[in-house]
Chain A
Amino acid sequence: MTSLLVIIVLVLLAVALWQLTKIFDLTQVGANPDKSEVATDVDNNIQGYLNFGFLAFIYIFFIYGLFKWGPLVLHTPASEHGLEVDRLMNITWVLIFIVQAITQALLHYFAFKYRGTKDTKALFFADNNKLEAIWSGIPAVVLAGLILYGLYAWTNIMFVDEDEDTIVIEIYAQQFNWKARYSGEDNVLGKANVRLIEGVNSLGVDMADPYSQDDIVVTELHIPKGKKIHFKMRSQDVLHSAYFPYFRAQMNCVPGMVTEFAFTPVLTTDEYRELPYMIKKVANINDLRAKKSLLLVAKGETALDPYTFDYLLLCNKICGASHYNMQMKVIVDTPEDYKKWVSEQALLVSQVKEAKAAPAGVEGGVKLDSTKTNDTTAVVKMAMK
């Protein structure tokens, strides 16, 4: 309701301003009717000063923004290559700030300084090749530097050496959740295809493949600190994008193909929680949540839980109605904790065997899936023809 009030106020404001402009018009009565809508010296003067004021507005607003919203921005990267990405980002930002500050100042200062009057005549200054050369040359040199640095970093990040010692993990996307499949002891993922999806084997892993015998499927991603993780992404339905903001990592998940991204986490979840900036951020978030909880409780609803930081995997490609809630918790463990955690997970093979042994109909989900399987095989057969 308050917002409706805001809208009404805005409309009234608009009406008021419209009336104001009408008054302006009345003050112009008696001027030459044909030319009265063309800017006069008085207009030029006022608008010139307003341009100068606007320059001040831009500067103040930008500086205010940097202090007020700067702390919201993603900070310390949690991956090895993230440091490189952030370094390039900072260099680029410095360049952008310099260019922005100078060009906006020139633009609006000139607008102020050279506001027109009746008696002046502009300078006829049509071209100057030296100037053109300067401002095509300087950007060219600067950009060449940025391109070279960028390409060097890009190549290092994106090309995964197959011989490298990595842990291979599959990220599996579906509307609207994530799963992860660990390749197990052999560090090779078993073959998979959506046509093999059946019951608990919800990723369509080929259980006949020897490599799939030690695969593990989970809904919470654990990775060890200090080891390169080679992610292979799949999607079963539409495009998704696996976005790990804190690791500066992102790759689309595309139905029908496997995409890849690799990074090395350098800070465990616990270490990241202890970063001074994160402590501050979480405290701030919890303040906000406490305030909101008060309102909720007053309305008779339950209060919000306090928040503790966790790394997240988000979906960052529009994928359907619940796109906004497609997430998976990511936990970076110490290598020891990671080993322990992995050893506690059930193998997919045994889960599949168990589900087959259990009488049909015990689990609603399984039953539903198994009835669908008939259609599935029929469709597969059709497709094969």
Chain B
Amino acid sequence: MSAEGHDHAIDHEHEHHKQTFITKYIFSTDHKMIAKQYLITGILMGVIGVAISLLFRMQLAWPEESFRIFNIILGDKFAPNGVMANDIYLALVTIHGTIMVFFVLTAGLSGTFSNLLIPLQIGARDMASGFMNMISYWLFFISAVIMLSSLFVEAGPASSGWTIYPPLSALPQAIPGSGSGMTLWLVSMAIFIASSLMGSLNYIVTVINLRTKGMSMTRLPLTIWTFFVTAIIGVVSFPVLLSAALLLIFDRSFGTSFFLSDIYIAGEVLHYQGGSPVLFEHLFWFLGHPEVYIVILPAMGIVSEVLATSSRKPIFGYRAMIISTLAIAFLSTIVWGHHMFVSGMNPFLGSVFTFTTLLIAIPSAVKAFNWITTLWRGNLQFNPAMLFSIGFVSTFISGGLTGIILGDSTLDINVHDTYFVVAHFHLVMGISALYGLFAGVYHWFPRMYGRMMNKNMGYVHFWVTAICSYGVFFPMHFIGLAGLPRRYYTNTNFPLFDDLQNVNVLITMFALVGGAFQLIFLYNFFASIFYGKRSVQNPWKSNTLEWTAPVEHIHGNWPGALPEVYRWPYDYSNPHHDVDFVPQNVPMKPGEEALHH
């Protein structure tokens, strides 16, 4: 085994010299380069997604005012005299949701860290199929380009919400964005799903087959566990969205009636007969709900890893963490109906989904308590990644608790589709997953670029982001409980909501400040790539295998033999050892026993 690995590495060393710019930086099959490509694409999409949200937040805070910036960005058609038009508002909301959920928090988060960490942490030379990995990235890139190009079609991009419920998304007569904008959206998503499936299959095969000697499943870092389970959820649920998208394309372009029936619009009856929009909702949420776990599980893995490393303490309840991850993954596929309590489906189904949904709170609670216990009597090292991990636990709890209200069908009746929902899911899966992404970037930046990010900028970035996140989403719960529906372009037509306007202004202020401070992160990130201080091999004194590879990236990851694994990844402050960390490739001392279950 080790001899074989050795040869392999030498081959790659040889190849290394022959690499051209194109094979090294563009059509690379090296997982580390692909991870960086995912990350940078994800960050750029994130900038666009966040910028869009700031635009519509300004509209919500000052609905009748004219902003030159609207006119500059949206043009004369969608913001004449700087006043945002009502249909472009919906388009912005739609594209913000789509970009953030799929392009930033799915591809940007999972794509980056699964690619970077799976081979490095399990001790593999690369992904099972480097070529498929490359195709996966480039399909993602193409789908991102198509999604962005939809912003420039004449009638405007898709505007029926990121959930694209038909008939609104099927009929250009219903909203202009359902014309070519929607077509591009569907094409983009179909390609995105293909990309995601290729990535997921690769992750699963790699984790199952390419673990190094001694790396049993119960010695895997929790990052790998969550990436592995996330990939399985993706493979199970993404194809269902693909089928929904295809059927919708059929309804839109070939006159079938899968989702449409009995429609009278723009003065005429359409021929559709016998379809049901509720069917689309089922298909959409069969992916849509697991999707939020696709987003949050990798973040949970990253946070578990960072919390343990930076607390200099084993993660509390390693096995409980794995079991709760599996439980969440299983339950996530049978709770989609809680998005549809008032969709008109049989109320009995609502009862079933209430039951399964509230069950998810149990494994989630286990995780939260385990994280908190991991901090207890630790020796906490407050690197920026650690702060974001603590921030994650905080927002995950705050956002998760209100899920108990939304998951309960009786209570959902009155808060469904209000700003209460917006506040809930932004905290629990938006902000939390972003914190996971930031924690991952700060923690593994040295592994990606061989340099360190500036910690002081990281501190400022964290604290302002933490305050602004609560500043935006905490007051939002109240306007939701006041009955304010989401996706309203302005509330000025309802004097009833006049007293919510001050809250909206406050929320927007926090959003603008929080958004502006992300520039610090961007500067820190890009400047550190070139000018950051050189990193040592294992700056955080971590146990996992990626820190045993040389700082310089080489094809094949390790020169010579692959590391062999003798212990679990969380031997921090092990009383049998003098140093407070014992990497996985350190053999057990004579007479040493594993101190965990």
* Interface positions of A from 275 to 298, Cβ below 8 Å from B: 281, 284-285, 288-289
- Give the Cβ gap from A306 to chain B, nearest Cβ, in Å: 9
Q: How far is the CA of A85 from the CA of B341 in the complex (A)?
A: 15
Which residues of A sit under 8 angstroms from B532, Cβ to Cβ? 37
Question: Is A227 part of the contact surface with B, judged by Cβ < 8 Å?
Answer: no
Known: A150-B410, A257-B278. A107 touches B495 (CB 8 A): no
A31 to B438, CA, bound (A): 26
CA distance A14 to B297 in the complex (A): 32
Do A72 and B499 have beta carbons less than 8 Å apart?
A: yes
Give the shortest distance, in Å, between B575 (CB) and chain A (any CB). Answer: 6
A341 contacts B by Cβ under 8 Å: no
Contact A259 B269 (CB under 8 A): no
Give the CA-CA distance A238 to B167 in the complex, in Å. 5
A125 & B398 in contact (Cβ 8 Å cutoff): no
8 A Cβ contacts from B359-379 to A: 359, 361-363, 365-366, 368-373, 375-379
Give the contact stretch, choosing among A162-170, A191-199, A210-218: A191-199
Q: Provided the pairs A110-B375, A122-B313, A248-B414 are in contact, do residues A239 and B277 lie with their beta carbons within 8 angstroms?
A: yes
Contact A383 B273 (CB under 8 A): yes
Nearest chain A CB to B338's CB is how many angstroms away?
Answer: 12
With A65-B474, A73-B481, A372-B268 known as contacts, the answer to whether A284 contacts B540 (CB < 8 A) is no
CB distance from A106 to the nearest CB of B (A): 5
Q: Which of A93-101, A182-190, A355-363 contacts B (4 or more CB under 8 A)?
A: A93-101
Q: Is B488 a contact partner of A135 (Cβ separation < 8 A)?
A: no
Decide yes or no: A316 and B418 within 8 Å by CB, A122-B572, A252-B344, A255-B260 being known contacts: yes
- Tell me which of B262, B499, B539 contacts A193 (CB under 8 A): B262
Contacts of A281 in B (CB 8 A): 499
Minimum CB–CB distance from A322 to chain B (whole Å) comes to 7
User: How many residues on A have C-beta within 8 angstroms of the other chain's C-beta atoms?
Assistant: 143
CB of A4 within 8 A of CB of B380, answer no
CB pair B366–A132 under 8 Å, yes or no, is: yes
- Does the CB pair B277–A256 fall under 8 Å? yes
Do the beta carbons of A139 and B573 come within 8 Å of each other? no
Within 8 A of A (CB), among B464-487: 466-467, 470-471, 474-475, 478-479, 481-483, 485, 487
Closest partner residue, chain A, to B503 (CB atom): A69
A310-355 contacts to B (CB < 8 Å) = 312, 314-325, 327
- A83 in the interface (beta carbon within 8 A): no
Does B596 make an interface contact (CB < 8 A)?
yes
| B362 & A136 in contact (Cβ 8 Å cutoff) | yes
CB-based contact A125/B316 at 8 Å:
yes
Would you call A157 and B410 a contact (CB within 8 A)? yes
B residues within 8 A CB of A302? none
Q: What is the CB-to-nearest-CB distance from B292 to chain A, in angstroms, rounded to a whole number?
A: 19
Q: Give the chain B neighbours of A314 by CB distance below 8 A.
A: 483, 485, 494
Residue of B with least CB distance to A281: B499
Residues B482 and A72 in contact, CB atoms below 8 Å apart: yes
A321 and B87 in contact (CB under 8 A), knowing A143-B362, A195-B262, A288-B501? yes
Confirm or deny: A241 has a beta carbon within 8 angstroms of a beta carbon on chain B: yes
Specify which chain B residues have a CB less than 8 angstroms from the CB of A140 in the assembled complex: 362
- B130 at the A interface (CB under 8 A): no
Interchain CA distance A334-B358 in the complex, whole Å: 40
- Which residues does chain B contribute within 8 Å of A13, judged by CB atoms? 516
Please name all residues of chain B whose beta carbon is closer than 8 Å to the beta carbon of A121 when the two chains form the complex.
312, 379, 573, 580
| A309–chain B nearest beta-carbon distance, Å | 7
Contact across chains for A151 and B62 when beta carbons are under 8 A apart: no
Interface flags, B516-553, vs A, CB<8A=1, else 0: 11011001000000001111100110000000000000
> Contacts A33-B534, A316-B485, A320-B175 hold; do A254 and B276 have CB atoms under 8 A apart?
yes
Q: Which residues of A contact B489 (CB under 8 A)?
A: 321, 323-324
Question: Given the complex of chains A and B, what is the CA–CA distance between A114 and B134 in angstroms?
Answer: 44
Q: Decide if B369 touches A135 in the complex (CB within 8 Å).
A: yes
Q: Contact: B398 with A104, CB < 8 Å?
A: yes
Query: Which residues of A sit under 8 angstroms from B347, Cβ to Cβ?
Result: 154-155, 158-159
Question: Once bound together, how far apart are the Cα atoms of A27 and B466, in whole Å?
Answer: 26
- With a cutoff of 8 Å between Cβ atoms, the chain A residues found around residue B496 in the complex are 285, 307, 309, 312
**Are B533's CB and A34's CB within 8 A?**
yes
**Is B65 part of the contact surface with A, judged by Cβ < 8 Å?**
yes
If A126-B318, A323-B487 touch, whether A39 touches B408 (CB-CB below 8 Å) is no
Closest to A7 in B: B512
A136 with B366, Cβ < 8 A, contacts A126-B596, A323-B489 known: yes
30 A-B interface contacts by CB (under 8 A): A3-B65, A4-B68, A7-B69, A18-B457, A21-B520, A61-B471, A72-B482, A72-B499, A72-B500, A99-B401, A108-B394, A111-B390, A114-B379, A120-B379, A127-B596, A135-B366, A136-B362, A136-B365, A143-B359, A158-B350, A194-B264, A243-B417, A243-B483, A249-B413, A285-B496, A314-B485, A315-B485, A322-B86, A375-B268, A380-B269
The 3 closest A-B pairs by CB, nearest first: A256-B261, A245-B483, A47-B382
Chain A residues proximal to chain B, CB less than 8 Å? 3-4, 6-7, 10-11, 13-14, 17-18, 20-21, 24-25, 33-39, 43-44, 47-48, 50-51, 54, 57-58, 61-62, 65, 69-70, 72-74, 84-85, 88-89, 92-93, 95-96, 99-100, 103-104, 106-108, 110-111, 114-117, 120-129, 131-132, 135-136, 139-140, 143, 146-147, 150-151, 153-155, 157-159, 174-175, 193-195, 197, 204, 233, 236-239, 241, 243, 245-246, 248-252, 254-257, 259, 281, 284-285, 288-289, 304, 307, 309, 312, 314-325, 327, 368-369, 372, 375-376, 379-380, 382-383
